[in-house]
Structure 1
Amino acid sequence: MAALAACLLLATLPATAGQSADASQALAFPGAQGWAAHTPGGRGGQILRVTTLAADGPGSFRAALEAKGPRIVVFEVGGVIDLGMQELRITEPYLTIAGQTAPHPGVTLIKGGLIIATHDVVVRHIRIRPGDGGMPKWSGDIDAISTVRGARNVIVDHCSLTWATDENLSASSTRFHGENEAEWMENASHSITYSNNIIAEGLAHSTHPKGEHSKGSLIHDHVNRILLVGNLYAHNYERSPLFKGGARGQVINNLIYNPGQRAIHYNLIAEEWIGHEYSRGEMVVRGNVMRAGMSTEPLALFMVGGSGDVDLYLDDNLAVDRIGNAEIPEVGRYTTAPVALDRHARTPALPFGVHLLPSAQVQDAVIERVGATPWNRDLVDRRIVADVIEGRGWIIDSQDEVGGYPQYEASRKPFVEAEWDLDTMEPIGGHSRGEPLR
């Protein structure tokens, strides 16, 4: 009975403030999925226009993030925002970042990252490419996007996240904030959707103090109600994704290309849990595709390490080697500890709004939809997608190995409210987003 209760905990955790499972609530945007699907983000708040590519000051992206109250950030300028190896921290809730409003070539943040430290945040259609910034080896690390403790009702959708020196896209937290497991779970980042993102080319031997650190997504201890759906993971040595101790969520219809020594994995690190009883993790892994590439070492689709037990449901996942042979094992271990890997006896319910694709359809669907501007990809995303299709590319140590930071000229176009549904930030009628890439 205790094992069954652990299996069912993910589905029965109570809704948090600002989030409801009521399907009659308005969606964040058409097609929003998961436990965060009904977040209002900045709906109904003030429209804040980004009018400069400067890193700070009036009209900057930073100023819009730091404003108080519900707000929708739109862009009247396109191009590159150089953050100067600084991270932007979102601490004010009820925010929508509408990168789809930017004129071609869209919005690209370089030499920095985005930290979400609050609730009810929607981030769509932006590119973040931290890179090493010319800094010396082992000098520091930056995630492209990460949540921290207490973040909830967060959606990161259709973004392009590459060249991080830590994770490209993570949900982080404080491991033991509270008195017991229920409080640890509620205080951790939770109710999160990461959908339709390019999560690629984490830098391996770069500036991270620990050395090699080409990582896709870290889902930290006790993070829960997290959905990773329809993403492209490419050229990350590990963590596509990694769930740590007690983390619980679903990994659905992702395309994983050219992982290094691990793709999807679970690992509770005993050293980090001294004095605490281990929490039990839960992972639902359905309809994912993994293709080996030039940097792929011997591995399994799903691997368990460390010391903690995990409830696992695997269904219709496809893993093939470089010539298409389905000889890659489904499950492997990189631990000698007595970890219990227990299979769900019954099919878990899909998160809200998820329409499960069979694995045979996943590659084409992901390639079509993924990234910041799939209707008009920039040259970096275009290269990554082409390499995935053609079976090219490798794990890199610096952005300079693949052409360096983008240098797009600034473009300007007024934001016209009448052209957009301000509740969902989708274009109205025949209005299109951006101009075709020529």
Structure 2
Amino acid sequence: MTNSKILLIIGFVWPEPNSSAAGSRMLQLIEAFIGFGYHITFASACAKTDKAFDLKNIGVNTASIQLNNSSFDDFITDLNPHVVLFDRFMIEEQFGWLVAQHCPDAVRILDTEDLHFLRKGRQMALNAGKPFNDYYLYNDFTKREIASIYRCDLSLIISKEEMCILEGEFKIDSDLLLYIPFMLEAVDEEASEALPKFKERTHFITIGNFLHEPNYDAVQYLKETIWPLIRKQLSEVNLHIYGAYATQKVLQLHNVNEGFLIKGFAENVEDVMQNARVCLAPLRFGAGLKGKLIDAMQNGTACVMTSIAAEGMFNISETHDYVADDPQAFADMAVKLYQNEAEWEFYSKYGFNIINERFKKSDFQKILILKVEAITNQLQKHRHQNFIGQLLQHHTLQSTKYMSKWIEAKNRQNPS
């Protein structure tokens, strides 16, 4: 390529926008860079599934790469990108030192997706039956992810709550972080008016990729605790549960008599969301922004959620009448919203306002590209001010480098 703007994205997986919020997020980032003239190559060591988005249709080159294999050296040297985006910190751990070695002048960006250490710490606390506190916040994932953030020139943070944690609790320089939430098209009045109204909708819905542990836990929590409380008050109403990669342990939760219906992968999220009256999001741990709430709000479906689900989606000072962590309160809210047309209409429209005010695509696309260009133009100065990052780049990655080379040598001796 001769174009001066070459972006390499190294993906944890191939984007599946119909399966997960992470897939949608990745396509939003790709769209932003394409819009500002970048030539993009997306590479991953992961196998493609039949749900993977065809990136070639939007002009993105693709490449399959291998872990712990010197073929990546030739690949990245030939491509010679100006910007490299790592899809989650695990990818930066695996490939960051190679990018730094072969393309030292490339801007290194980490897309955290969400803070994995925050999600992991909350899961640990839940499993222990304890309140979440600093003991769970400062876990081994925290050390790895914070180190990755320091090694990169810029990290994209999807939630303002997570920005506060990184800047406040961990004192990370704001120059290394950029708040980029979901970047969405506005829902105009004509589109919102065309959506099905209260009386045209029936039943409850929840949706989420079952490979994502918070989603599976939420479905179990619904099955065992919340749904019986709702069903006791609304005996003829069903809960439709959608999500990609439903395993046998998910499918066995299906029970027609209880109105607990595992529907599996939703070919068209808009259709199933618009048919439902209320979306339930009883997440007990997690981080980032929740794609199921975005899907609901875009389609005019009112939501009941836990505080974990609501985090980062609404202004910190806002109170939301349909956020509850107590199961009985959650169930009562769900029943009220399902039965009260005026309340439902208010929160249906409230969702459109959130989409239009907080996730405006054009604004955040411009913010992202301007920041990347600013770092590109003063890269050495930017790195000089990040001494901890230099320190980690020098020392920590030496162990990663030599471990990778040892694995590569071992693989050559014992080919599978």
TM range (shorter): under 0.3
| TM-score when normalising by structure 1 | 0.24
* Structure with more of its chain in helix, by fraction: 2
* Structure with more of its chain in strand, by fraction: 1
| TM-score when normalising by structure 2 | 0.25
